[in-house]
Each structure stands twice: as structure tokens, then as C-alpha cells.
Structure 1
Amino acid sequence: MLVWERPEPPNRPVPVPLSRERIVRAAIQLADADGLGAVSLRKVAAALDVRPMRLYSYIAGKEELLDLMVDAAYAGIHPVGDGWREVLRSHAEATRRAAHEHEWLADLLGGRPQLGPNALANGEILVAALGDVDVDAAMPVVGAVNAYVIGAVRRENAERRAERATGMDEKRWQAELGPYLVRTFATGRFPALAAVVRDAAHLDADQTFTLGLDFLLDGIEARLSK
């Protein structure tokens, strides 16, 4: 029986009260502070001041714990809007915010199917917003938006981690690598790239995400209108 259907053990008179909610909250705190590598049943048990074996009364193992963590994050993702386009945009932006708040989330999305109650409620809102869209197109549309969000956030998080590890922000990166690009582009071997670097608007992360999402939604709209 999946964790979503399996009842919790009855309350017992023990020194430290325990529940799946407390276990998940402790795991999320560990992951927020030090990444997914910091999450283990032993470390979660230590944070809760209980023996590791006690956790197995509530979860079968780490995989279930990760599933519960993802579903807890989905509780904060509430797509809203009039029409499928607004709802999908709201979903994308809310998912991005959640993945910035919890950097580990983007690493878990897009893997195993998310079947927790909060994830299913989110999916219900998205599919319902698509209304009369052909049933065979509904999940590919939602999947395309999710794939865009996951890819964009993973790139953003990788840039943040690299900046924390090296201390190089965008300005410092440009100062160090700019002369190399100038020399390379001066060879004339990469004229298209040189024109983009020289002439295109340099967008920040928010602008880049919004513009890419617009391109995707425009493409979906054009396909659905055929």
C-alpha cells in the first residue's frame, strides 16, 4: 500500500511525539540548509531526537520520505487565473518560486510520478483549466510546461551554486571571460553568436524565464488553435 493510503500508527505515550508531518518538516529543514545529501533517516531521527527505527513505523524508507517532501512543497503551489494560459503561467511561476525556496525540489521534480494529494490537486487544476482541449493533448501540454520550468530552475540553481562555490557573480564572470570572448569572436568563426552577444538585450533571470515561457505558451496556443 502506498504511503498516501497507509494510515499512521496510533498515538502512543512516548517522550517525543511523532507524525509523518513532523518527519517531513524535519527533512525539509535539513534539505533547505544543506541539500538533499543531508537527508537521511538517521539525520532526520537525530533532528527529532528519536531512534531511527521509530521512523519506519511512519515511512518505509528514504524514497517515501522524498515523495512526501515533494508533496509538501506542492501544497504551496496554487495555480490561479482565467483560462488555460493564465493558469499554466501561474503554475509555472509558483513552481519556480517553490523551487527557489527549496533548491532541492527541482532535483526531484520530473522523476517518479508525483501521486500525493497536493500534487494530484495541482494536476486537477491544470487539466480542468484546459477545458475542451483534446484529452490526448492535455498531459503533453502540462508536461511541456513542467519540463520548461524544471529545466529553467535547474539552470538557475546551478548558477547560484556555482556563484556560492566560486564567489564569481555575473559581473566578475564577464570581467574574467570577456577578453577571451572578444579575441575568439574577432576570428570571425562565430558571427551569429558574436552578433547576439554584442547586440541582444541582456535579460536578468526573471525576464529570461518570462520570455521563454511566453514563447512556449504561444507555441501551445498556436498548436491548439489548428
Structure 2
Amino acid sequence: MTVWDRPEPPTRPVPLDRARIVVAAVALADEGGLEAVSLRKVAARLNAGPMRLYGYIATKEELFDLMLDEVRAEIVPAGPPGDEVRAEALPAGPPGDWRAALHALAHGTRRTALRHEWLADLLGGRPALGPNGLAVGEATLAALEGHTDIDTAMRAVETVNAYVTGAIRREVARLRAERATGLSEREWQRASGPHLTRMLATGRFPTLSRAVHDGTDVDAATSFAIGLEWILDAVAARLAQPAGE
């Protein structure tokens, strides 16, 4: 039985429910990462005894599942960028613009991960079974309905998700490195410049040398957007192939 299927205990003098527990856990993770989250710390924030939480959540892994589903509600925008709507409000049904749907999923996931950096540590795990995760998955697959068979649609979504997960983890890792070293990306590049110049001058890395001297340096958002368009182009090419090829 999943945490979503298990009934909550009756109310007691100090009001408590899974929604309050999850909000407190998300706040702790936003402040200090997943390592800052424990049932004891969540209970302390709610002024409740730690043992009371076990009536609602059996393990820390269940708490992480609930936290992940909570922030998945922020992923898919409705209207202008930044105008989020809870995932259960997403339409699911007739065939839609699959590229726009996957584009929204990718950029919405990145925006959410930058608000909640700990999300990067939970992406790519087991399928999301919470209501928001299921709603996002339904809306995304529904957009591909009518364009291809269900297996191809699933592989397309998996391919986009794999790119998004990798790109987000890389970006978040860099943000964490900046905080750990106290150096921005530009400051780190300047500090590392003399070493890199000496290494490239050996002639052992000609391709890297061309990339450093002739390549265009872009910010994380631009890099993410370009890579995503390439992935969506590949999906479009696959969808254009006749069935069975």
C-alpha cells in the first residue's frame, strides 16, 4: 500500500496532516537540501512529537515521495512563463501539440528545480505515483496521442526526461560548486585560466583549444534551450518515420 492509499490517523490537539508535514519538509529542504530533512526535524518545525509523524509517514523515503509530488505541481505552466497551475488542473484528452507539451515539461521542470535544488537529487528515480506526477505524465503522453503508437510515445518522453534530468543535475551541481568555493563561474574561469593556458599550450589538446578560443560561451538557460530543441528535433524525425521502421 502506498502512502497515498493509507488513511491518516484521527486529528489530535496539535493539528497535523500529511499536507502540513510535506510543506514543512519542503521548507527544510529548500533551506538546507535533502540532508536537512528528517522526521525529527520536521516534527520539531511543527511543534509535534517525532513519533506522531509515523502515523502519517512510515519512512523518510515516503516523505521524499510526497515532497517530490508536491513540487511536481509547479512544473507545467498555464499561460505566460511563471504562471503555474497545479498539475491536476492540466487537460488530458484529445491529441495536442506534442512539441509544446514536451517543451513545457522540460522548461517547467528546470524552473522548479532552480526553486527547489534538492529536486535534482530525486529526478530519474522510480515512476512518480502521486497525483501530480501522474497528472503530468498523463498530460504529456496525451499530447503525443494520435501522432504515434504508445511505445514510441513512451520512448520519446523518456528521451526528453533523460536529457532534462542530466542538464538540470549539471546546472545544479555548478550552482552548488559556486556556493562551496565562493567563486562565480566567471571568477572560477579567471582563477583557472593560467593553468588551462599552460595545458593548452602543450599542443596535446588541439580540439579543446579550438573550443576555448573559438567556441561561443553561453549561459545555462541558453545551453539548456538549445540542447532541448535538438532533442525535440530528433523526436520529430522519429515520429515522421513510417510505422515499423
**TM-score normalised to structure 1 length:** 0.95
SS for the counterpart of 1:17 is coil
Matched, 1:206 2:231: no
Out of 158, 163, 166, the residue aligned to residue 151 of structure 1 is 166
Q: 1:174 to 1:168 in 2, by over 3 A?
A: same
Q: Distance in 1 between matches of 2:128 and 2:136?
A: 10
Out of 12, 23, 26, the residue aligned to residue 25 of structure 1 is 23
Q: Give the aligned residue type for 1:37.
A: E
1:85 corresponds in structure 2 to 99
- Cα distance per residue 1:32-87 (max 9 Å; x no partner): 00110111111111111111110111111111111000000111122569510111
1:71 corresponds in structure 2 to 69
**TM-score normalised to structure 2 length:** 0.88
Q: Distance in 2 between matches of 1:80 and 1:24?
A: 24
Task: Show structure 1 runs of 5+ residues with no match.
Answer: none
Q: Distance in 2 between matches of 1:158 and 1:60?
A: 30
1:107 corresponds in structure 2 to 121
Q: Distance in 1 between matches of 2:213 and 2:236?
A: 32
Q: Distance in 1 between matches of 2:186 and 2:72?
A: 35
Task: Show structure 2 runs of 5+ residues with no match.
Answer: 80-95
Q: Which segment drifts farther, 113-122 or 79-88?
A: 79-88
2:49 corresponds in structure 1 to 51
Q: Give 1:204 deviation, angstroms.
A: 0.5
Q: Would the aligned equivalents of 1:9 and 1:57 in 2 still touch at CA under 8 Å?
A: yes
After superposing on structure 2, the runs of 4+ consecutive aligned residues of structure 1 that deviate more than 6 Å are none
2:90 corresponds in structure 1 to none
Q: Give the aligned residue type for 1:26.
A: A
Q: Distance in 1 between matches of 2:99 and 2:208?
A: 32
- Cα distance per residue 1:161-211 (max 9 Å; x no partner): 111111111221121211222222222221111111111111001100001
Matched, 1:10 2:24: no
SS for the counterpart of 1:23 is helix
